[in-house]
Structure formats: structure tokens, C-alpha cells
Amino acid sequence: MDFIEIAKSAQQAALEIADIKTELKNEALNKIADALEKATDEIFEANQKDLEAAKGLVESGEITQSTYNRLKLDDNKMRDMISGIRDVANLQDPINKTLLARELDEGLILYKVSCPIGVLGIIFEARPDVIAQISSLAIKSSNAVILKGGKESVNTNKTILGIINSTLEKISGFPKNVLNQVFTRDDVAEMLKCDKYINLIIPRGGNKLVKFIKENTKIPVLGHADGICHIFVDQSANFEMAKKVIIDAKTQYPSACNAVETLLIHQEFSAKDELLNALEQAGIKLVFNPDSWAFEYGDKILAVKTVAGLDEAIEHINTYGSGHTDSILTSDVQNAEKFMNKVDSAGVYFNASTRFADGFRYGFGAEVGISTNKTNARGPVGLEGLTIYKYKLKGSGQIVADYVSGEKHFTHKDL
């Protein structure tokens, strides 16, 4: 089947899944979680094939070491992936929620109601657990998807989506072709041109991938190109807390987009030397004169800058940051509030690691990605970010001419 046929079938599936019951969606999700749990060994076997092949891609420079790290599925990732699907099943259905109810006149009621976006095109690198995350969110939010993973994870991707789709085929009443997968660069080119059938593109990958997609499609794109996250250590920060939070934000998963990349330290912070020494002891390489302050290392490397105070820290972040996630460590609540109000990022934190910027940790069950956009969805994007709304007007034969002539008058009363 060529890409256009896949896109057409996905559009038809989107129309069908838009009207299915919550109970059917939840049944599908729970059965998918059970099936993946039973097939853990099969999935790990496929992932091992991808890891073996990816070693050569790292050596040839086709993919980075951080991409290789994201490719690996382990027991923790598998557990989180499966529990994330069950969590999504337990979440409230985001579709057909009344967002506004307004009486325009007696017997003429306007409703603003949440609805699916339609067909989502997902392009991602490595991270095979993305397949399960996005599939579960798409099902619960009543969207259809076309998934295109990187060649480095093709065996894992095929195996996971194969298990998911074989499970869905056995569920009576569940639409066909809701979850689709393509594999080639030509498919990506076709996807980016396919604004007739695809409503939103979501890229999950490195800076080059996201920029390429944004520059080569008319379809709206939800995502972020960079994860240049900051932590500012204020003058009143607690040393032990600062050490713990920064080490977590840099070393817990260095290649993640929410890992800290730049550390700003108040010039009056008394334990600066002790803090920097502790970071080096934790295996972090410190860079004091980087070629660029707007650089995402994706490794245990941390740019460090001493600043005169809170205002300079905020200015630096708003100048060089990527609008992803930034944190202040301080005992001064007023400084924390000023930081969180003035830093223009999707996530602004007070005394917490930037690594919390994650849909699973936010209680979204899973995430389709992280957005630094300022339209529709921002930050970790869960179910609500995959919905839009429509207006439903319920009348009893009213016509506009009566209101233009003054025979009738609007009440505009919120219900």
C-alpha cells in the first residue's frame, strides 16, 4: 500500500474512532498492556537485534551515542511503558467534554465540546517505547496515527506495533487502521506533503530532525527543536539540596531533552567551589567558556556561568534557552515567584530537578512529546494536547433575521 492509501485509510479510521465509547477504548488499552507484558521476551529479542546493528551506526557516525542510549529497552523502560498504558486507560476520557455551555436565547444553546484532532503524523528517532506511548494516547483521545520510526529501531518498532494491532483486531467494534506504521525516507517526504489527510505532525528526535520537519511542511508541527535547560542556584540556595538536584538533572539520564545543560550560579552563593567540586566528583565535566551558551550536550557535560543575580539569570535563560524547562534553587519564595513568572519556558520549577518534565511524571499516563509551542499544547503533551474543540449549537428553529430586526434579543447567559 502506498503512503496516500495509508493516509486515506487513517483519515477514515479517525472519523470512525471519534465516536466510539470510552469503555471500548479502555478495554483496548488494558488488553494491549496485557499483550505487551506477555510478549516482553519477544520485544527484548527484537530490541537486541536493533542494538547490535546500531553499534555500527555509532561507529560510522550515522547516529550519536546518546541516540544509541535512547534505543535500548530495559526492564525499567518496559515496566514504565506498560504501566503508562494502564494509566492512560484509567484517565478520564478527554473527548466530548463540555468546555462551555451558553444560552444565546431561550431554546438556543451553544456548547463548546472537546473533540479529536484527527490524523497525527509521528516521526521519531530511537525510543521504541514511543510506539506504545503514542498508540495509547491516540486511542484514548480518539485520534488515528501514522508512525515513522528511525531505521535504528525498526525491529523493535515492528514488533511492538504488531503486538498492539493484533490485539486490536480481536476487539469487536474497534475500527481498523487507527494505528499505522511506515518505514522509508520517501514515506517521510510524502507525510510532510500530505496536508489533505494529516492534521498534525509531531516530531520526536534531535534538533536537525525537528528543524527539517518544520521547514518542509505546511502541516502544523507540535514539538521542540532543542532541550537547553537551565538551573539557577540563587544566593540563598541550600547546598545539599542544590548538589542533589543538579546531579540528578545532569546524570540521571544525560541524553534526555529535560536534562540540565547550563548551570547559573549567583556570585554571592557561598558554597560555589564546594558545589562545583561535588559535581565533578559525580562524573560531570564542567565547561566555563563554551563556544555557545545555546548548546545541548546530551552527555555528562555542564556549562557553568557565574551571574550577578536573579535578573541576569532570567535574562540569560530567555536569551539562550529553548523554552523547555528551567529551575531555580532558592530559599527566597519571592525570587522563586519572580523567576517562574518571568522565565518564558514551558516548565518553570522551584527547588526541583528539570527531569520532572515528563508526561508520565506529570500524571498524564504517557506523553506524545514535549512542546515549546505557544499554541494548542505546551510542555509534556498528554491527552488534552491531542484534542481540539468544536461548537455545537442546539436550537428550535431560530433564524438570524429575527435578531437583526430586533424582534428577538440574545440573552448570552452562561449555564
For the segment 299-322, what is each residue's pLDDT rounded down to a tens digit?
Answer: 999 999 999 999 999 999 999 999
In the 8-state DSSP scheme, what is residue 224?
-
Taking the C-alpha atoms of residue 110 and residue 105, their distance in angstroms, rounded to an integer, is 10
Q: What is the pLDDT of residue 272?
A: 98
Instruction: Place 368 in a pLDDT band, splitting at 50, 70 and 90.
Output: confident
Paired strand residues for 148 = 123, 182
Q: pLDDT class for 211, splitting at 50, 70, 90?
A: confident
Structural domain contains residue 102: yes
% pLDDT > 90, the chain:
84
Share of the chain above pLDDT 70, in %: 100
Do 199 and 267 lie in a common domain?
A: no
84 in the same domain as 50: yes
Q: Specify the pTM.
A: 0.84
**Which one is predicted more confidently, 207 or 280?**
280
How many domains are contained in the chain? 2
Domain assignment of residue 363, yes or no:
no
Return the SS3 of 77. helix
CATH number of 22's domain: 3.40.605.10
**213 and 252 within one domain:** no
Over residues 89-108, the pLDDT tens digits come to 999 999 999 999 999 999 99
Lowest-confidence pick of 50-59, 139-148, 284-293, 395-404: 50-59
Q: Is residue 124 part of a domain?
A: yes
Using CA atoms, how far apart are residues 254 and 236, in angstroms rounded to an integer? 27
pLDDT of residue 411: 97
DSSP 170: T
Split at pLDDT 50, 70, 90, the class of 61 is confident
In a domain, 406, yes or no: no
What pLDDT score does 302 carry? 98
Residue 5 Cα distances to 78, 148, 328, 377, angstroms: 33, 16, 50, 29
Question: Are 340 and 348 within 8 A, CB to CB?
Answer: yes
Residues 162 and 251 in one domain: no
Mean pLDDT for all residues in the chain: 95
Please indicate, yes or no, whether residues 74 and 190 belong to a single structural domain of this protein: yes
Residue 70 scores a pLDDT above 90 = no
CATH number of 238's domain = 3.40.309.10
For every residue of 307-371, DSSP letters joined together read: ESSHHHHHHHHHHH--SSEEEEE-S-HHHHHHHHHHS-SSEEEESS-GGG-STTTTTSSS-SEEE
State whether 159 and 264 are in the same domain: no
Look at phi and psi of residue 367 and say left if phi exceeds 0, alpha if psi is from -120 to 50, else beta.
beta
54/173 same-domain check: yes
pLDDT for position 224: 79
The 8-class DSSP code of residue 153 comes to G
Please determine, for residue 207, whether its predicted confidence score (pLDDT) is greater than 80: no
Whether residues 350 and 381 fall in one domain: no
The pLDDT of residue 206 is above 80: no
Pair 149, 72 in one domain: yes
Range(s) of the domain holding residue 303? 229-356
210 and 330 co-located in one domain: no
The answer on pLDDT for 180 being more than 90 is yes
Do both 241 and 172 map to the same domain?
no
The C-alpha atoms of residue 145 and residue 11 are separated, in whole angstroms, by 9
Model confidence band, residue 246 (pLDDT cutoffs 50, 70, 90) = very high
pLDDT for 236: 98
Identify whether 108 is part of a domain: yes
Q: Do residues 97 and 208 share a domain?
A: yes
Q: How far apart are CA 370 and CA 351, in angstroms?
A: 21
